[in-house]
Amino acid sequence: MIDKKLERVLPGEIEKRSFEIITKELGTRILDPENELVMKRVIHTTADFEYADHLKFSSHAVTKGIAALKEGIPVITDTTMGKAGINKRALSRIGSAVHCFIADEDVAETAKEKQTTRACASMDKAAGLSGDCIFAVGNAPTALVRLYELIKEGKLHPRLIIGVPVGFVNVIQSKELIMSLTDVPYIVAEGRKGGSNVAAAIVNALLYQI
């Protein structure tokens, strides 16, 4: 039976209280200390404890992602929603920024010309940027597939890939492609789960550890 008695919590204490509840409900489960704050941030965003099992991390992906952000490496998202959810103030403090090219006219033209998705074309545009990037993909599996192709072609060298698209068509396959990479750090939501909010939550979890 649900306890209908409301808790008296000050606005500034709501997040802290939420994390206390998450920790309590995880019970005796022991999380990898390096990945724990990312997992809890995603659970906080989704209220879905299955992410404790579904989030997969390559070796020291969190540490490598934080190190990249400290260098001011930019973040590329596949949706404006994902971009909106990332803490811009935290990014600006470390000299970083977040970009999304999905709505750019040249991306739309490229997608039409090549008969592909805008998400795919936006990854091609990102590959044209100077320097390395962190990619946070929360919606389009075609973006992950294109990232995989660009990496294999030697045209892109991401510092971290956050691969958490949600859905049914080629979602699992696209994530498995990213997890097959041996030289690129990744954080992937195994299976069909994910979303732009999850991608943003992971980026924020990294930022809040700086």
CA-wise closest residue to 206 among 37, 42, 18, 77: 37
Catalytic residue among 44, 54, 99, 157: 44
Each residue's pLDDT expressed in tens, for the chain with a length of 210 residues = 555 788 887 877 899 999 999 999 999 998 999 999 999 999 999 999 999 999 999 999 999 999 999 999 999 999 999 999 999 999 999 999 999 999 999 999 999 999 999 999 999 999 988 668 999 999 999 999 999 999 999 999 999 999 999 999 999 999 999 999 999 999 999 999 999 999 999 999 999 999
Helices then strands, each counted (H, E), the chain: 11, 6
Domains of the chain by start residue, with CATH: 54-207 (3.40.50.10230)
| 28-64 pLDDT, tens digit each | 998 999 999 999 999 999 999 999 999 999 999 999 9
Instruction: Give residue-wise pLDDT tens across range 139-152.
Output: 999 999 999 999 99
Which positions ≥6 away from 62 have C-beta within 8 Å? 34, 35, 38, 187, 206, 209
Distance between CA 137 and CA 119 in Å, rounded? 9
Whether 44 is a known active-site residue: answer yes
Q: In the 8-state DSSP scheme, what is residue 13?
A: G
Task: Let me know the angle formed at the C-alpha of 197 by 20 and 181, rounded to the nearest 5 degrees.
Answer: 100
pTM of the model: 0.94
Burial 106-136 (b: 16+ CB within 10 A, else e): ebeebbeeeeebbbbbbbbbbbeeeeebbbb
